[in-house]
């Protein structure tokens, strides 16, 4: 599985069986803009080919057992990335206390 969008799509499907348009609406709520069908459906196709999701004749998408395992793995991966980014920002953000001390010395 590649990319954060694939992870989000898996996560949305894990909450309950959904259609592609419902996935798109949920992504719009979370990201602020609605992805085009040309963005969503290739992701769904890839996830289906990897047997992470399945769909019926009505194009209702369901997470497979393999998809559940991949979602857990992706959640660990992205959690670590976000933790690392947060740590980097802590290092780069000026300490308010040291900023006060610097102003006193001037």
How many separate domains does the chain show?
A: 1
Asked if the model's pLDDT at residue 94 lies above 70, the reply is no
Domain CATH code at residue 36: 1.10.10.10
Residue 102 lies in a domain: no
pLDDT in tens, 49-59: 999 999 999 99
pLDDT of residue 48: 96
What DSSP string runs through the chain? --HHHHHHHHHHHHTS-EEHHHHHHHHHHHHSSPPPHHHHHHHHHHHHHTTSEEE-TT-EEEE-HHHHHHHHHHHHHHHHHHHHHHHHHHHHSPPHHHHHHHHHH-
Residue 105 lies in a domain: no
pLDDT in tens, 8-34: 999 999 999 999 999 999 999 988 888
Asked if the model's pLDDT at residue 98 lies above 60, the reply is no
pLDDT of residue 53: 98
pLDDT in tens, 60-87: 999 999 999 999 988 888 777 766 666 6
Residue 101 lies in a domain: no
**Domain boundaries, position 40:** 3-92
């Amino acid at each position: 599985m590649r990319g954060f969008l694939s992870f989000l799509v898996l996560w949305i499907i894990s909450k309950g069986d959904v259609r592609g348009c419902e996935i798109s609406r949920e992504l719009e709520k979370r990201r602020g803009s609605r992805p085009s069908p040309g963005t969503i459906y290739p992701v769904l196709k890839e996830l289906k080919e990897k047997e992470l999701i399945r769909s019926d004749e009505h194009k209702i998408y369901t997470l497979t057992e393999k998809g559940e395992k991949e979602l857990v793995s992706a959640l660990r991966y992205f959690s670590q990335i976000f933790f690392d980014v947060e740590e980097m920002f802590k290092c780069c953000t000026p300490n308010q206390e040291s900023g006060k001390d610097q102003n006193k010395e001037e």
